[in-house]
């Protein structure tokens, strides 16, 4: 069975690519993913805030320790050499490149236009096969327009594009009024692919302390459907590679996404929960499904039920929404 | 030969650069102002920098200077090239070993940043009292007078000691030279190699003790030979001066910089000469050149090698024409007929006169005087005053210069307006900044830029005040084409550039006094350029008009904010300086500033570099020249330093010090024995806070936590009859008291001292009460101070006027009740959010009216007792803590001495009272003798009885009655507190502490454990936790924190506790009450967050909680009284570690930096620490669970309780 696919111009052995997760922090677990069949690896994200916070911390607590007291103009030794978050990331990228045969995609996560160009250049220089740009921006200002938010993404991408030659994919949030149009704009600005969709880590309220706290919840398979719809809508219409990310836990999830038109399917929660072996299971499942349904290759199935190719394209649009609502029945015993 | 490369560094670094290159072992201990030498050496070794022979010197921090000296002695015996760095009392602690080291002819160099000794007061500043105290040790004493000399003579010292086997104290003036930044020519490796003879090194090693060729050294000798042995070393001392001179000559041949044992500068036919050593000789050099250029015939003799003293070299250096010599000593030897250098010079001259062929036609008249103690200003005007005195008919002996001595009338007059020609062509600038706003570091950087970017000579000196929060810094910068010898401050009317980086200084300091005619004044102000003129006090406006000053302004905080710099204005103000001063072409200067920023932050701080660049670029657009009107229009007058109604001493003395006019205080105003009144910090009103807490009286549950945690004693609660608030100011807040503990009709007020608050926000952080409809609103909320200042000042005054709540009625075992007690420790100058002061304040509330405090030197002695003011205060009855600081190393013994003195006097008083029982009345006498002073009521009753006793004794004119009157106060309970930091308790003072704990005496020891030497700048102590980065532990401390509590528990009669007030306040409160009530030694080890931990102290409560929850700081109380009752004495107050140790340490730079600098070590240490905290808790748990005969609650019971 030919499981090969092409993503961002990279020829991959199969469509299963572990997405940004802690699994890439450790060489052993990365090797296990490769052994389990991963066709490429997206590294854990290099967070803009982390780098900035680190720089601020070093500035504040090491470079500016003076309090104006005659007996002490500093309290902590200023190290001659230290490893910054970026150094650690580049080091891990190099180590992964040395340890693995599959392509390694570096991931940049941030919101501002500052700094990324340089970091993108460093990642490319360290051997990244591609860059995933994860623009995690919450448009919390009610005066900011959707167009302005989109411009922010496009500008950022354009700057990065001018700095690096390697492929770039943009990981997007689903919360855009016109996802398709934005993807086309990104293509115009130099994106080689998009990954749909980012999952926002939601803030939560601690009911005891009444504090707002960050909450990380792993995905579940229900989330696949949103991805599937938009992959299907965009397949073949926007000129970029499509990656599906968020909620892929089973071979069925992956198959649906491929049928909808995904070039690759990212895995994260499933691997964190079940380990690298889950990737093999899913890959086996895909193979079996293809065999059972007499497909020759993944290429053959890819996008076969996309918006362009679906027997009823409208099903991916609003009618589908109505169906879902209609299909919802209250559980027994609930008075309505 | 091309132009030599230069570096711009301070004297400490200059000396350390040599010491590190020619040493194998440095045994050190931190002490101001010498600490940076050890820190440099440690940093270089940590970075793998090798010495001259290619091996990295081994730097060891010892537990005291005494320990360092012992280690040095041992290292010398075993043949390693060894050095150390110290000062002041530290050098004194080395004296015993110095005799040994010199006695055995061990070559080594002690580099000393010479500092005053603690006498009537401690002083960290510079003079020669310390080195003079080592005169008898047999060490050679070699003096440097400038930063250049500090590096040159350091090398000459090391080379000479190897040649001549006499150990050397190489010293230079603390602060004036140790901390002066100057452009110098460094000594290159080739020169060092050429001067240090390897053959001598080999010979030294061959003399070392070794089992390969064993010897006995350090024998005990008897009357038969000891004396002869003492004389055996004479040839070495005789030879040494010539040998030093030869070394100097070799150095001169290599570098072109020539030195002599005694360097004479001045007229060849001088009639008057001053003799002195150290940095003052540079100012004298400058003065002599000026005076001779103006027709006088004077000279200065700079003493370089003071010991061994070579009178022939001295005499040879003096011109034969000299008729009068003034010898200036930077030390004081009370009771002597002259200071040491004076007596040496006088003896040399007298011996010369008596010896036949005299160098002089007529024996010169030699007088001696003192100058410059504790870095007292010593400038050309004063030196001219000395020369003028020498020219008088009858020159004065035993004079002083630089002070006004209206007691012994020793002081010389001088003309403060006198200036030398050296000022011509010199660009002088002064900058007033806040300690934390980066002004000093920006100026150090500017000196480097100018020093390294031009041919100009450069000098920077920095003056600090005594506070740690809101400290003022004044930077004095000089640049000029000629060498700068001005080892004194920039004087009035001399500065061509005056910068004020904070508007709060406008109403405090006469900054423009320093401005020269036509100078530039730069002000950072939020006022728009067209309005900024009207914000100046009238006096400043007048000076601007009178002196024709150009006035520039910038809103640097706005530029900083807009460019992402937050509150950092240093680069912005630096850019302004270069833009206006024209000292470098503007573009060149800006490029240099940017280059310096890039060099500082590098690739890893790229975003910070971007923010800085943005700020620099925005600076010029926001820098405005102010149009100056024709006349002064301001109605603003400078604030008096203290209120007009302050006590007379505070107005005449304290206020003058606060205003920066302390130099003018005459001798007569100084207390002869170093005793000062309390409560003076209350007069300062520093107005540091941008925001202060505002009480929501309707939301508040009156728990008292805010007052408990306040490090500065600025938020207080008071309970009072409601009717007393009838005349309260309209905005004064008070509500009915909550809770059943207090009578009906009482009102509660929580009030903030708006002008004393530092804005640390810890009170708001700890406040547990939130508005149900808006959780961001608490019962305390921060709000901008300026609009509240006047209103709250009135409210605070009213609050203070309300009577204190009766101590007998306050439930002191509750937080709320204890916080009704008046703090007798208030408004300290400690850092904002200090983790130490809440403990001290608590003790002062609970026991302040009966406390004697022995305070170890360190942060707590500085914020507690550094003039001008003290936070220690008295109550309305005049009672309060009696506080004293002896030394760093002896504090436990010092407090112990207080205890035995009180006990002895109490015993004698009781004996007298027993003898006088009938005379004073048996009822009264028996009541006093049998009093129960266990509680506040009992203490109060006893005080009344003792008052009654005094009244009766007053009528009895007998020796015994008079004796009892003098001793009667000891019939009342007194509480002795021994307070200090971990450096004292764990390291330098541990031996004494151990002894005092073992003594069983009733003392209370409070260890403020910041886990590092905080006051001297973050050096490792034995309290430093494993894996923490600190100075001398750049790679993380490899060993575990010492468990002082467990050591103390082994005595079994010591009350021992661990507290962390931010984690469990009630446990802290109960511990203090328990400890004080225990009639025996108590040891409270208090977790004290510190800026040295590297996080914003506004989060210090969270970190305290994590320290406890992670097991880093288990809470417990070990009470020997429980054992006496047959119960297990150990009670755990915290639970087993439940939070990963990683979570505790990841928030603090001292730990998390290691993940970046030494990631593998960091993980390794973390693993060990994690295991250790579990293991330690387990051990404590086991101890707490041991069955005790009458204890139903230990065996099988839950190990930790929450109460």
Average pLDDT over residues B440-457: 93
Instruction: Name the band, by pLDDT with cuts 50, 70 and 90, for residue B507.
Output: confident
Contact state of B436 with A67 under an 8 Å Cβ cutoff: yes
Q: Is residue A189 part of a domain?
A: yes
Residue B471 at interface with chain A, using a CB cutoff of 8 Å: yes
Residues B406-444 have pLDDT tens digits of 999 999 999 999 999 999 999 999 999 999 899 999 999
CB pairs < 8 Å spanning A and B: 135
CATH number of the domain enclosing A134: 3.20.20.70
Residues B652-693 have pLDDT tens digits of 999 999 999 999 999 999 999 999 999 999 999 999 899 999
Residues B972-991 have pLDDT tens digits of 999 999 999 999 999 999 99
- The residue of chain B with its CA nearest to that of A57 is B1149
Residues A140-162 have pLDDT tens digits of 899 999 999 999 999 999 999 99
Query: Which 505-564 residues of chain B touch chain A by CB within 8 A?
Result: none
**Among B436, B1018, B1034, whose Cβ lies nearest the Cβ of A72?**
B1018
- The residue of chain A with its CA nearest to that of B49 is A80
H helical segments located in A59-127: 85-99, 116-125
Residues A225-281 have pLDDT tens digits of 999 999 999 999 999 999 999 999 999 999 999 999 999 999 999 999 999 999 999
**Among A62, A71, A81, whose Cβ lies nearest the Cβ of B1149?**
A62
Residues B527-567 have pLDDT tens digits of 999 999 999 999 999 999 999 999 999 999 999 999 999 88
Residues B199-233 have pLDDT tens digits of 999 999 999 999 999 999 999 999 999 999 999 99
Q: Is residue A234 part of a domain?
A: yes
Q: Is residue A336 part of a domain?
A: no
pLDDT of B263 over the 70 cut: yes
Residue B468 at interface with chain A, using a CB cutoff of 8 Å: yes
**What span, in angstroms and rounded, lies between the C-alpha atoms of A277 and B303?**
81
pLDDT of B1197 over the 60 cut: no
pLDDT of B1195 over the 50 cut: no
pTM of this prediction exceeds 0.90: yes
Average pLDDT over residues B475-482: 97
**What span, in angstroms and rounded, lies between the C-alpha atoms of B1070 and B1082?**
13
Among B13, B39, B61, B65, the active-site one is B65
Instruction: Name the band, by pLDDT with cuts 50, 70 and 90, for residue B577.
Output: very high
Active site residue B625: no
Contact state of A55 with B607 under an 8 Å Cβ cutoff: yes
Of A205-209, B778-782, B1127-1131, give the lowest mean pLDDT range: A205-209
B106 touches B167 (CB < 8 A): yes
Q: What is the pLDDT of residue B613?
A: 95
Average pLDDT over residues B1037-1042: 97
Q: What is the pLDDT of residue B1196?
A: 41
B597 touches B497 (CB < 8 A): no
Q: What is the pLDDT of residue B452?
A: 87
Q: What is the pLDDT of residue B734?
A: 98
Among B8, B39, B82, B115, the active-site one is B115
Q: Is residue A180 part of a domain?
A: yes
Q: What is the pLDDT of residue A310?
A: 74
- Of the two residues A323 and B32, the one the predictor is more confident about is B32
pLDDT of B276 over the 90 cut: yes
Instruction: Name the band, by pLDDT with cuts 50, 70 and 90, for residue A331.
Output: very low
B168 contacts: CB under 8 Å, gap ≥ 6: B108, B109, B110, B139, B140, B141, B142, B157, B158, B160, B161
Q: Is residue A190 part of a domain?
A: yes
Q: How far is CA A119 from CA A85, A113, B750, B1133, in A?
A: 11, 11, 52, 49
Is-cis flag, bond preceding B495, omega within 30? no
Of B266, B389, B262, B259, the C-alpha closest to B324 is B389
Residues A47-78 have pLDDT tens digits of 888 888 899 999 999 988 888 889 998 999 98
Q: What is the pLDDT of residue B622?
A: 97
pLDDT of A330 over the 80 cut: no
The yes/no answer to whether this complex scores an ipTM above 0.85 is: yes
Q: What is the pLDDT of residue B796?
A: 98
Average pLDDT over residues B1093-1114: 96
Residue B568 at interface with chain A, using a CB cutoff of 8 Å: yes
B759 contacts: CB under 8 Å, gap ≥ 6: B688, B689, B690, B691, B692, B782, B785, B832
pLDDT of B618 over the 80 cut: yes
B1042 CB-contact burial (10 Å; exposed 0-12 / middle 13-18 / buried 19+): middle
Number of independent structural domains in chain A: 1
**Which residues does chain A have within 8 Å of residue B87's beta carbon, measured at their own beta carbons?**
none
Residue B652 at interface with chain A, using a CB cutoff of 8 Å: no
B717 touches B810 (CB < 8 A): no
To the nearest whole percent, how much of chain B has pLDDT over 90? 94
Q: Is residue A333 part of a domain?
A: no
B584 touches B449 (CB < 8 A): yes
Give the largest Cα separation in chain B, rounded: 100
Half-sphere exposure of B611 (CA within 13 A, CB side): 21
Active site residue B379: no
Among B873, B1015, B1016, B1068, the active-site one is B1015
Three-class SS of B587-609: HHHHHHHHHHHHHHHCHHHHHHH
Q: What is the pLDDT of residue A116?
A: 76
Query: Which 608-647 residues of chain B touch chain A by CB within 8 A?
Result: 608, 610
- The residue of chain B with its CA nearest to that of A210 is B775
Q: What is the pLDDT of residue B1192?
A: 61
**Which residues does chain A have within 8 Å of residue B1157's beta carbon, measured at their own beta carbons?**
79, 81-83
CB under 8 Å, gap of 24 or more: what pairs does B333-336 form?
A: B333/B132
- Quote the Cα angle for B514-B516-B519, to 5°: 105
Residues B310-350 have pLDDT tens digits of 999 999 999 999 999 999 999 999 999 999 999 999 999 99
Residues B1124-1159 have pLDDT tens digits of 999 999 999 999 999 999 999 999 999 999 999 999
Average pLDDT over residues B1009-1027: 97
Q: Is residue A335 part of a domain?
A: no
Contact state of B1149 with A61 under an 8 Å Cβ cutoff: yes
Q: How far is B1014 from chain A (nearest CA, A)?
A: 7
Active site residue B163: no
Instruction: Name the band, by pLDDT with cuts 50, 70 and 90, for residue B466.
Output: confident
Q: Is residue A332 part of a domain?
A: no
Active site residue B339: no
**Which residues does chain A have within 8 Å of residue B604's beta carbon, measured at their own beta carbons?**
55, 58, 82, 84, 86-87
Contact state of A76 with B175 under an 8 Å Cβ cutoff: no
Average pLDDT over residues A321-331: 44
pLDDT of B1116 over the 70 cut: yes
- Domain span at residue A144 reads 5-327
Quickly list DSSP for A213-275. Answer: EE------GGGHHHHHHHHHHHTTTSSSEEEE-S---SHHHHHHHHHHT-SEEEESHHHHHH-
Query: What is the pLDDT of chain B when averaged over all its residues?
Result: 96
**Among A71, A81, A115, whose Cβ lies nearest the Cβ of B32?**
A71
**Which residues does chain B have within 8 Å of residue A74's beta carbon, measured at their own beta carbons?**
1017-1018
Of B293, B375, B274, the C-alpha closest to B331 is B375
């Amino acid at each position: 069975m030919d499981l090969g696919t092409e993503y961002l111009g990279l020829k991959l052995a199969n469509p299963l690519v572990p997405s940004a997760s802690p699994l890439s922090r450790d060489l052993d677990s990365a090797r296990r993913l490769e052994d389990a069949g991963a066709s490429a690896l997206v590294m854990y994200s290099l967070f803009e805030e982390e780098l900035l916070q680190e720089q601020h911390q070093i500035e504040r607590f090491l470079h500016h320790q003076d309090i104006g007291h005659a007996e002490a103009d500093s309290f902590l030794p200023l190290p001659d050499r230290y490893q910054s978050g970026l150094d650690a990331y580049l080091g891990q990228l190099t180590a992964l490149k040395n340890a693995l045969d599959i392509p390694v995609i570096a991931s940049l996560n941030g919101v501002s236009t500052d700094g990324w160009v340089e970091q993108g250049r460093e990642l490319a220089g360290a051997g990244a096969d591609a860059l995933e740009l994860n623009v995690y921006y919450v448009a919390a200002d009610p005066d900011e327009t959707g167009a302005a938010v989109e411009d922010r993404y496009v500008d950022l991408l354009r700057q990065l594009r001018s700095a690096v030659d390697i492929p770039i994919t943009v990981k997007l949030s689903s919360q855009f009024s016109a996802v398709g149009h934005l993807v086309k704009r990104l293509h115009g600005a130099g994106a080689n692919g998009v990954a749909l969709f980012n999952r926002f880590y939601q803030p939560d309220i601690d009911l005891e302390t009444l504090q707002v706290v960050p909450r990380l919840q792993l995905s579940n398979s229900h989330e696949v459907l949103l991805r599937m719809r938009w992959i299907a809508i965009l397949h073949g219409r926007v000129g970029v590679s499509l990656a599906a990310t968020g909620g892929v836990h089973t071979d069925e999830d992956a198959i649906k996404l491929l049928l909808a038109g995904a070039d690759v399917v990212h895995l994260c929660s499933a691997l964190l929960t079940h380990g690298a072996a889950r990737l093999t299971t899913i890959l086996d499942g895909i193979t079996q499904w293809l065999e059972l349904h007499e497909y020759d290759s993944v290429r053959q199935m890819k996008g076969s039920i996309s918006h362009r190719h679906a027997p009823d394209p409208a099903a991916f649009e609003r009618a589908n929404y109505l169906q879902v609502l209609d299909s919802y029945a209250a559980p027994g015993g609930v008075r309505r | 030969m091309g132009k030599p490369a230069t570096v711009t560094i301070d004297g400490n670094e200059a000396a350390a650069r040599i010491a590190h290159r020619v040493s194998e072992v440095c045994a050190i201990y931190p002490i101001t102002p010498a600490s940076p030498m050890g820190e440099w050496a440690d940093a270089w070794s940590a970075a793998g920098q090798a010495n001259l022979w290619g091996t990295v010197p081994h730097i060891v921090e010892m537990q005291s200077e005494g320990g360092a000296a012992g280690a040095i002695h041992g290292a010398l015996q075993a043949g390693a090239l060894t050095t150390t760095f110290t000062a002041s009392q530290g050098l004194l602690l080395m004296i015993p070993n110095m005799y040994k080291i010199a006695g055995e002819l061990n070559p080594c160099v002690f580099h000393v940043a010479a500092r005053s000794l603690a006498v009537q007061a401690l002083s960290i500043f510079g003079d020669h009292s310390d080195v003079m105290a080592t005169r008898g040790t047999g060490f050679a004493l070699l003096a440097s007078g400038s930063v250049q000399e500090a590096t040159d003579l350091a090398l000459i010292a090391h080379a000479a000691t190897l040649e001549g086997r006499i150990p050397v104290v190489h010293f230079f003036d603390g602060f004036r030279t140790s901390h002066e930044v100057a452009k110098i020519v460094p000594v290159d490796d080739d020169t060092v190699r050429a001067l240090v003879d390897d053959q001598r090194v080999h010979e030294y090693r061959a003399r070392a003790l070794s089992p390969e060729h064993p010897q006995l050294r350090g024998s005990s000798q008897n009357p038969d030979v000891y004396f002869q042995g003492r004389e055996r070393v004479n040839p070495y001392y005789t030879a040494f001066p010539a040998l030093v001179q030869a070394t100097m000559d070799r150095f001169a041949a290599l570098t072109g910089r020539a030195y002599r044992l005694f360097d004479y500068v001045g007229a060849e036919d001088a009639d008057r000469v001053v003799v002195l050593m150290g940095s003052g000789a540079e100012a004298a050099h400058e003065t002599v050149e000026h005076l001779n250029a103006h027709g006088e015939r004077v000279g200065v003799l700079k003493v370089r090698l003071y010991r061994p003293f070579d009178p022939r070299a001295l005499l040879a250096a003096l011109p034969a024409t000299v008729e009068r010599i003034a010898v200036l000593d930077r030390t004081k030897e009370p009771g002597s007929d002259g200071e040491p250098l004076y007596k040496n010079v006088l003896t040399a001259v007298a011996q010369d006169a008596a010896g036949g062929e005299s160098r002089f036609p007529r024996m010169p008249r030699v007088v001696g005087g003192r100058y410059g103690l504790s870095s007292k200003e010593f400038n050309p005007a004063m030196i001219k005053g000395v020369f003028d005195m020498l020219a008088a008919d009858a020159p004065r002996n035993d004079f002083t210069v630089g002070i006004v001595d209206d007691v012994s009338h020793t002081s010389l007059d001088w003309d403060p307006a006198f200036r030398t020609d050296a000022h011509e062509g010199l660009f002088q600038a002064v900058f007033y900044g806040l300690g934390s706003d980066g002004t000093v570091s920006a100026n150090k950087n500017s000196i480097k830029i100018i020093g390294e970017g031009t041919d100009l000579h450069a000098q920077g000196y920095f003056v600090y005040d005594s506070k740690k929060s809101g400290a003022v810094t004044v930077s004095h910068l000089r640049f000029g084409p000629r060498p700068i010898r001005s080892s004194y401050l920039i004087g009035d009317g001399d500065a061509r550039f005056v910068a004020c980086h904070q508007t709060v200084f406008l109403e405090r300091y006469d900054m423009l006094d320093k401005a020269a005619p036509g100078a530039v004044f730069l002000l950072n102000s939020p006022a728009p350029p067209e309005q900024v003129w009207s914000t100046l006090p009238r006096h400043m406006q007048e000076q601007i008009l009178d002196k024709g000053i150009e006035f520039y302004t910038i809103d640097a905080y706005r530029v900083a904010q807009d460019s992402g710099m937050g509150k950092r204005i240093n680069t912005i103000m630096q850019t302004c300086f270069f833009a206006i001063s024209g000292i470098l072409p503007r573009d060149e200067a800006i490029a240099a500033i940017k280059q310096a920023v890039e060099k500082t932050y590098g690739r890893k701080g790229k975003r910070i570099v971007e923010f800085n660049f943005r700020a620099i670029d925005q600076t010029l657009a926001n820098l405005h020249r102010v149009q100056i009107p024709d006349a002064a229009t301001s109605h603003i007058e400078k604030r008096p330093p203290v209120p007009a109604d302050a006590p007379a001493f505070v107005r005449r003395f304290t206020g003058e010090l606060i205003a920066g006019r302390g130099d003018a205080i005459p001798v007569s105003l100084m207390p002869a024995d170093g005793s000062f009144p309390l409560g003076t910090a209350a007069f300062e009103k520093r107005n540091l806070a941008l925001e202060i807490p505002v009480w929501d009286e309707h939301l508040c549950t009156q728990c008292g936590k805010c007052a408990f945690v306040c490090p500065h004693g600025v938020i207080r609660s008071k309970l009072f009859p409601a009717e007393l608030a009838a005349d309260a100011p309209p905005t004064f807040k008070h509500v009915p008291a909550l809770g059943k503990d207090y009578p009906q009709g009482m009102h509660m007020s929580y009030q903030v001292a708006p002008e004393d608050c530092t804005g640390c926000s810890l009170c708001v952080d700890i406040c547990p009460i939130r508005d149900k409809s808006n959780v961001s609103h608490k019962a305390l909320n921060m709000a901008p101070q300026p609009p509240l200042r006047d209103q709250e000042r009135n409210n605070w005054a009213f609050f203070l006027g309300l009577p204190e709540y009766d101590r007998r009625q306050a439930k002191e075992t509750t937080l709320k009740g204890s916080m009704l007690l008046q703090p007798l420790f208030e408004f300290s100058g400690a850092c904002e959010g200090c983790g130490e002061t809440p403990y001290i304040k608590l003790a002062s509330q609970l026991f302040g009216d009966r406390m004697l405090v022995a305070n170890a030197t360190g942060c707590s002695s500085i914020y507690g007792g550094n003039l001008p003011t003290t936070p220690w205060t008295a109550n309305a009855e005049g009672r309060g803590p009696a506080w004293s600081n002896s030394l760093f190393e002896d504090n436990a013994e010092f407090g112990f001495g207080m205890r035995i003195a009180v006990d002895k006097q109490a015993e004698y008083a009781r004996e007298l009272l027993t003898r006088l029982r009938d005379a004073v009345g048996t009822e009264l006498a028996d009541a006093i003798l049998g009093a129960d002073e266990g509680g506040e009521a009992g203490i109060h009753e006893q005080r009344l009885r003792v008052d009654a006793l005094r009244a009766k004794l007053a009528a009895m004119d007998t020796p015994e009655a008079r004796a009892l009157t003098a001793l009667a106060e000891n019939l009342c309970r007194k509480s002795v507190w021994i307070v200090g930091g971990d450096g004292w308790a764990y390291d330098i003072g541990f031996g004494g502490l151990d002894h005092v704990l073992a003594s069983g005496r009733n003392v209370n020891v409070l260890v403020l454990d910041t886990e590092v030497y905080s006051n001297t700048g973050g050096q490792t102590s034995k309290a430093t936790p494993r894996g923490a980065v600190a100075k001398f532990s750049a790679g993380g401390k490899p060993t575990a924190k010492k468990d002082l509590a467990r050591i103390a528990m082994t005595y079994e009669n010591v009350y021992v506790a661990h507290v962390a007030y931010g984690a469990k306040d009630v446990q802290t409160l109960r511990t203090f009450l328990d400890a004080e009530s225990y009639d025996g030694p108590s040891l409270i080890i208090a977790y004290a967050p510190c800026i040295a931990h590297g996080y914003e102290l506004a989060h210090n409560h969270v970190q305290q909680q994590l320290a406890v929850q992670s097991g880093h700081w288990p809470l417990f109380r070990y009470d020997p009284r429980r054992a006496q009752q047959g119960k297990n004495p150990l009670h755990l107050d915290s639970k087993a570690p439940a939070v990963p140790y990683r979570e505790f340490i990841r928030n603090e730079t001292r730990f998390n930096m290691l993940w970046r600098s030494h990631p593998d070590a960091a993980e390794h240490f973390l693993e060990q620490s994690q295991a250790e905290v579990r293991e330690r808790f387990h051990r404590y748990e086991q101890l707490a669970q041991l069955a005790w005969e009458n204890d139903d609650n230990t065996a099988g019971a839950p190990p930790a309780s929450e109460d």
